[in-house]
Amino acid sequence: MPSHQLSRVAIVLGLLLAIVLALSAPLSAQNPTRLLPPPVHPSRLAQPELGGAILEATVIRVADGDSLKVRIHGESRTVRLACIDAPELDQPPWGSASRAWLQAHLPPGTSVRLVPKATDRYGRLVAELVTAAALSEVSINRMLVEDGQAFVYPRHVHQCDAARYREAQDRASAQRVGVWQEPGGIERPWAHRQRAREIRPHRPQPLPRPGLSWGAGQPARSQPPAAAPVLKTPAEPSSAPPASAPSAPPAAQTPAPAHRSAPAATLRPDRPRPPRPSSTGTSDATPLLSSPP
């Protein structure tokens, strides 16, 4: 191709490139971030170190600032948000505000992802909850801390990225948002629960009965003193014959009157029938006792 033709092609390409640049410049000047996703703070992004089996769930309802009920594979489960502790509902107005924040961000029907950490003594699933935001996943647990709606739970923060959680809490404290509006923050929820348990009236314990053992340090069951053994001495033999006891004379049987005699059918078979008196007025039975001389 001759050189003059090459120069013409180069000029045409240059003009086309200039036209494209001129058309794209006004669009970027009017809205330079129109095609870009909204910025998300790095502390709110779910990190790949969370690990564990990720569960897909759907929000049913929010109970308070750090627990909610979700549906996992058609089964209803209660989830306790890991690594944080939100104010209790009896800590007004902070408890209600924390629950309202979670209800606004997780309305019923929201699809979420759970990263399980453990199961607490109440049978709740302790997990970190993440939800989609633009092209990233946002940790709801850290969002609560950064917006001043919950505290980092020192006892269980090791289950999550402790450094990022503490950084989020430091920013909330510096900006004095939420629970940090009071100097130093409000009473911590775990301290509030402990104080409530201490002032709760206790049921009186029954007094131990005498002689019963109630555990260590209590008197043991008392036993009656053992009786001293009684030694029997053998009786000395006697040369005199034993005296016989006088026999009692047999009792005389008095004949029953004729008008009070019982019928034969009512008499017992082993009881002898009393003799009937004769017509002369005397009994024909032989008397058992003789008259004295």
Cα distance between residue 217 and residue 220, in whole Å = 9
- The CATH number that applies at residue 83 is 2.40.50.90
> Do the domain assignments include residue 178?
yes
> Do the domain assignments include residue 171?
yes
pLDDT recorded at residue 19: 81
Q: Find all residues with CB under 8 Å of 139, minimum gap 6, and list them.
A: 44, 45, 46, 128, 129, 130
> Do the domain assignments include residue 54?
yes
Predicted structure pTM score? 0.53
> Do the domain assignments include residue 287?
no
The three-state DSSP-derived secondary structure of the chain is: CCHHHHHHHHHHHHHHHHHHHHHHHHHHHHCCCCCCCCCCCHHHECCHHHCCCCEEEEEEEEEECCEEEEEECCEEEEEEECCEECCCCCCCCHHHHHHHHHHHHCCCCCEEEEEEEEECCCCCEEEEEEEEECCEEEEHHHHHHHCCCCEECCCCHHHCCHHHHHHHHHHHHHHCCHHHHCCCCCCCHHHHHHHHHHHCCCCCCCCCCCCCCCCCCCCCCCCCCCCCCCCCCCCCCCCCCCCCCCCCCCCCCCCCCHHHCCCHHHCCCCCCCCCCECCCCCECCCCCCCCCC
> Do the domain assignments include residue 82?
yes
Tally of domains within the chain: 1
> Do the domain assignments include residue 173?
yes
The pLDDT profile of the chain, 293 residues, written as one tens digit per residue, is 566 666 777 777 777 777 877 776 554 445 444 334 444 444 444 443 344 588 999 999 999 999 999 999 999 999 999 999 999 999 999 999 999 999 999 999 999 999 999 999 999 999 999 986 655 678 999 999 999 999 999 999 999 999 999 999 999 999 999 999 999 999 999 999 999 988 876 666 666 666 544 444 455 555 555 565 555 555 555 555 555 555 555 555 555 555 554 455 454 555 666 666 555 554 444 444 444 44
> Do the domain assignments include residue 164?
yes
Cα distance between residue 181 and residue 57, in whole Å = 34
Range of the domain at 147: 42-195
> Do the domain assignments include residue 291?
no
Cα distance between residue 128 and residue 141, in whole Å = 6
